[in-house]
Amino acid sequence: MSEPSVVDESHRLLLEATTSRGRRVRNKLATVWMVGALVVALIPLAWVVGYVLIKGISSLDAAWFTEELTATTRRAGGGMGPAIVGTLVITAGATIMAVPLGILGAIYLNEYGGNGVLARVIRFMSDVMTGVPSIVMGLFIYTVYTVNFGQNGFGGSLALACLMLPIVIRSTEEMLKLVPDELRQGSYALGNRKWRTIISVVLPAAFGGIMSGVMLAIARAAGETAPLIFTIGAARAFNANLFEGQMTALSTQIFSNARVPFPAAQDRAWGAALTLVAIVFLFTVAARIVSARVARRHNA
């Protein structure tokens, strides 16, 4: 055997360094671990969606969307129309109140408040508000609104808006924080005023992220049950008037049907669950399409 040349030796060392066994094994292990974690995380998600789909799909026929609720949950028949309308109207009412307010609040926090006392207090309060259980929010609206004005959809909207507001504020603020200061400077340097810089440069740059946060808040609100139980009452008939008369919603229907031992009621609960998931899914997809359109216009 001849002595290995210096070149061969360094070549060997180089290969050894980059492909040593221990290194490769650790790399494989880490990859397997991460893929495994992803799969484990996806199992409950797929399970829930699949189960709801299987259990709920049989309830969904034409009458489901058009007919009123049955008089007692025990009997089969009837539809979920009033609850679908209720969920859409109440959530829309909450969105109209919470989203503009939340975005304006976030603009104040990030663009004007800075680290001032007021901004810090608002930031802290909205963090606290995020952690308030939804049933407490429902009780709060019950005592300040429902006791005085009676049970109606607007009370539910108010309660949901209170839940959405801190989510919208904090997610929007995070998105505004991500907008590079260079863009604001560039706008100011062209002689743009601050309010116009926010409208014409900062908000468009953050649009996609703000939209995601808003959708998260809407999805959360659409599924809330506890705040609605106190505030909207119970109704079997269609009522699209937010300010007059009691209403019902998909989430409260899931609750009232699932807790009774009758097969017809439990099927109905599954159907309502599927409808709710489908509504949230459709809105999320729609929001994605809108943000992609806007993003394409800005960053094509």
Binding site for other proteins (CB under 8 A): 180, 182-183, 185-193, 196, 200-201, 204-205, 297-300
User: Closest distance between other proteins and the C-beta of residue 178, in Å?
Assistant: 12
User: Closest distance between other proteins and the C-beta of residue 197, in Å?
Assistant: 10
User: Closest distance between other proteins and the C-beta of residue 185, in Å?
Assistant: 7
Nearer to other proteins, 65 or 188 (CB): 188
Nearer to other proteins, 38 or 300 (CB): 300
Nearer to other proteins, 101 or 295 (CB): 295
Nearer to other proteins, 18 or 299 (CB): 299
d(CA 225, CA 269): 13
Nearer to other proteins, 204 or 245 (CB): 204
User: Closest distance between other proteins and the C-beta of residue 107, in Å?
Assistant: 17
User: Closest distance between other proteins and the C-beta of residue 291, in Å?
Assistant: 13
